[in-house]
Structure 1
Amino acid sequence: MRKVLFPVLFLLAFSPAFGQSSQAERFIDSFVTKNNFNGTVLLAKNDKAWYRKSFGTANFRLNIPNTTDTRYKVASITKAFTAVLILQLYEQGKIDLNKSISSYLPDYKGEGADKVTVTQLLNMTSGIHNMDAGLTLESALKNGMPQYQAPHTSDEMLALFCSGKLVNEPGKVWDYNNADYIILGKIIERTTGKTFEQNLRSSILQPLKMANTGIAYQQEIIPRLADTYFYRDDIKAMVNDLPVYPENWYAAGAMYSTADDILKFSNALFGKKLLKQTTLDQMFTSGKDEYGYGVWVYKDYDIHGKHYTIIKRPGSIMGAQAMLFHVLEEGSTIIILSNTGTTSLDEFAAKIAARIVR
């Protein structure tokens, strides 16, 4: 009897109450069916995963199923990693968050060189012309996406797409701009003398044993990486993602990972293994549009009449969809990685949270 009982007690110690967990599982199954979701869902409490399940297909042509070992493009979850790398250099005294771009990139040609600070890049208030302004599916189908459909080095991305004029006074207006994080990637490289990828590996991936995480390159075949698909309303069909060079998203969105590896990152971040508490307090300060440094921070988020702090980092590039959703006071983490753009992961995560947090 003791041999049977112990695993049950261990499971209950690290998961929500049985009623909540079963309710969450029923909801997830229903939501997946209704929304044709393809991907992996992982739920954790106090660093321990208590639910992980994969759905649908990683490769439609060959009918290869998604599994918990499937790697997914995680899009803008990359920005949370970039923010951590910058803040680690800040803790080491190598970067001053209040200094301008030109302090670290003296050859930067943009109008904001001496006006935009590292902090303003982190919190998306740089005022730099948005590199994706006017980009829509219709324009991409007609004219392509020069930012992403031609091969560019990160230096070329900086010069061609991230060095434009200021359209707003720095610090005054929030505007979600991939250019801000491409500039941050170049600041990391220039400060350390190592590539962004080398910094990522040595400072985060290797210490956390994130062996299934890296930067996606067009020329590389990455084992177990899910193909990505999105739904086109104009032809009412699921189609392959448009051909791109994923590395062009660089420090703003070029990473791939698994749900379990993202949990390792989440656990280390919120467990103060990557940054000190005082630095986390800066990262998790809710600024304009409730954005902190690389993450959204929602204070007083209401769940069943109680108020929580939600740290959220979504990602979306065509069919590559990703969500890291953390309830700070509860220690509950929701990770959703998908290879099809068929549903809102914001809605999915919020509805799961309502079923696992009490």
Structure 2
Amino acid sequence: MKYTFSISILVFVFFILSCGDKDKTNSESKKPIADDYSAKLDSLILTTNPRKFNGIVLITQNGETRYSKEYGFSDFEKKTPISLNDNFRIQSNSKQITAALILKEVESGNIKLENPIREYLPDLNQSWADTVTVNQLLNMSSGVVGIEEPLAFKAGTGFHYSNPAYGLLGKILEKTTGKKYTEIANTLFKKIGMKNTYCYVPNKTNSQLSNGYWISNDTIEVVDFKNLNFSQESWSNFVPAGGIISNAHDLNIWDTKLHNGEILKPETYELMVNSKVVDSDYTFSDKDSNYGYGVNINENEPYKYIGHAGRGIGFVNLKFYMPEKQLDVIILENTYNRDIDIVYYFEKEIRKIVLNSSLVE
């Protein structure tokens, strides 16, 4: 009895010590990330040379906000402060949404990536519709310059960034589903909880959309969409390439769900984010990146990151996601500087600060 009691005590003590070690390990693993980036980002955003920042920055990691900033105005005339809840034109970040919609049809068996686009658009007059594939439209290797123009190169042999290519992808979606692109996209947004995201509709009220502004030297001018001379058809063709409205919170939902298997199956997601098509986009990366399906892909850093930049109609943006670190960076501005050399100035500098911070260690 005496020995049994002693052994019981030893087992109990060992159990307590083991729990303590486990708690210590858990505590160490949950240690907060050292913040070596907030002060740098704050200082950057306050600079006025070579231009001013006017917009929002949202950085999340593992579902927690690491940094958020609202700076400037959504309406300069009324001096309305800009907000994380404000909507922005996301411009070319619309492309990854179109790509995901195509891939969902691929999953359903309604579209095959290697099929010539003539299979889905039989009325397209151009002879290149017999050789250009859906895959090539998605990764910008089609050579499509314009619907009525010859290809820039033999399909599949180069890279040419093309809004018309994504307009064609929108038409393919409409042909295969029997629905309008706007209906298809808006249905997905609703399904995944993007309550403030939608396809822009001209001449209608567009909820909480910030004004967009052109900036030239020291002058600032609000963009009047009506003066951009879009016809109903030309805008319809542009929406899949750059016509979607969203805000920081919704884009965070999109990035989190897209890169964590809640929108696409693993095999189709892998097709989207892996590519050998080279794109020299130095907003997204300081080196050449690859262009997948509506996304740029950077393999040069210690960790792979995926995203896109966008600009136009008074708006500029950049967002990227690092799957291995569950890190999401969203930068949205509602001012567009006509000096092309500095239009993405803050987007590039913010990217550099983040990628050289403790967030990616």
Q: Give the TM interval when normalised to the shorter protein.
A: 0.7 to 0.9
- Counterpart of 2:241? 252
Question: Given the superposition, is the C-alpha separation of residues 257 and 16 from structure 1 closer, same or farther in structure 2, using an over 3 Å criterion?
Answer: farther
CA distance in 2, matches of 1:248, 1:83: 15
- Counterpart of 1:216? 200
- Counterpart of 2:45? 32
1:272 aligned counterpart, secondary structure: coil
CA distance in 2, matches of 1:286, 1:113: 23
Count of residues in correspondence between the two structures: 305
Structure 2, unmatched stretches of 5+, are 1-27, 279-289, 338-342
Deviation at 1:170, TM superposition (A): 0.1
Question: Given the superposition, is the C-alpha separation of residues 206 and 15 from structure 1 closer, same or farther in structure 2, using an over 3 Å criterion?
Answer: farther
CA distance in 1, matches of 2:178, 2:135: 21
1:14-163 alignment runs, 5 A limit = 17=33, 19-20=34-35, 23-34=36-47, 35-128=51-144, 130-131=145-146, 162-163=147-148
Greater shift after overlay, 260-269 or 334-343? Answer: 334-343
CA distance in 1, matches of 2:71, 2:238: 27
Preserved contact between residue 315 and residue 323 of structure 1 (Cα < 8 Å): yes
Preserved contact between residue 230 and residue 240 of structure 1 (Cα < 8 Å): yes
Deviation string 1:226-279 (CA, Å, 9 cap, x unpaired) is 11112224xx42323363246552100001101000001111101101111111
Deviation at 1:205, TM superposition (A): 0.4
Structure 1, unmatched stretches of 5+, are 1-11, 132-161, 302-306
Deviation at 1:16, TM superposition (A): 5.7
- Counterpart of 1:351? 353
- Counterpart of 2:253? 264
Compute the RMSD of aligned alpha carbons. Answer: 2.0
TM-score by length of 1: 0.80
Preserved contact between residue 85 and residue 200 of structure 1 (Cα < 8 Å): yes
- Counterpart of 1:157? none
CA distance in 1, matches of 2:207, 2:98: 24
CA distance in 2, matches of 1:72, 1:96: 33
2:262 aligned counterpart, secondary structure: coil
Question: Given the superposition, is the C-alpha separation of residues 257 and 182 from structure 1 closer, same or farther in structure 2, using an over 3 Å criterion?
Answer: same
2:316 aligned counterpart, secondary structure: strand
1:241 has 2:258 as partner:
no
CA distance in 1, matches of 2:120, 2:92: 24
2:220 aligned counterpart, secondary structure: strand
Deviation at 1:41, TM superposition (A): 0.9
Runs of 4+ in 1 over 6 A off after TM superposition: 12-15
Instruction: Report sequence identity in percent.
Output: 30
TM-score by length of 2: 0.80
Question: Given the superposition, is the C-alpha separation of residues 350 and 222 from structure 1 closer, same or farther in structure 2, using an over 3 Å criterion?
Answer: same
Deviation at 1:81, TM superposition (A): 0.1
Question: Given the superposition, is the C-alpha separation of residues 13 and 254 from structure 1 closer, same or farther in structure 2, using an over 3 Å criterion?
Answer: farther
> Which structure has the larger Rg over C-alpha atoms?
2
CA distance in 2, matches of 1:121, 1:36: 36
| Aligned AA (2:205) | I
Question: Given the superposition, is the C-alpha separation of residues 357 and 223 from structure 1 closer, same or farther in structure 2, using an over 3 Å criterion?
Answer: same
1:274 has 2:277 as partner:
no
Deviation string 1:298-355 (CA, Å, 9 cap, x unpaired) is 1132xxxxx1101021111142112221112111110111101255223322322322
1:170 aligned counterpart, secondary structure: coil
CA distance in 2, matches of 1:348, 1:230: 22
Deviation at 1:105, TM superposition (A): 0.7
Deviation string 1:72-119 (CA, Å, 9 cap, x unpaired) is 110011000000000010011110000011100110112321010000
- Counterpart of 2:295? 295
Question: Given the superposition, is the C-alpha separation of residues 354 and 319 from structure 1 closer, same or farther in structure 2, using an over 3 Å criterion?
Answer: farther
1:125 aligned counterpart, secondary structure: coil
Of the three residues 156, 163, 172, the one matched with 1:178 is 163
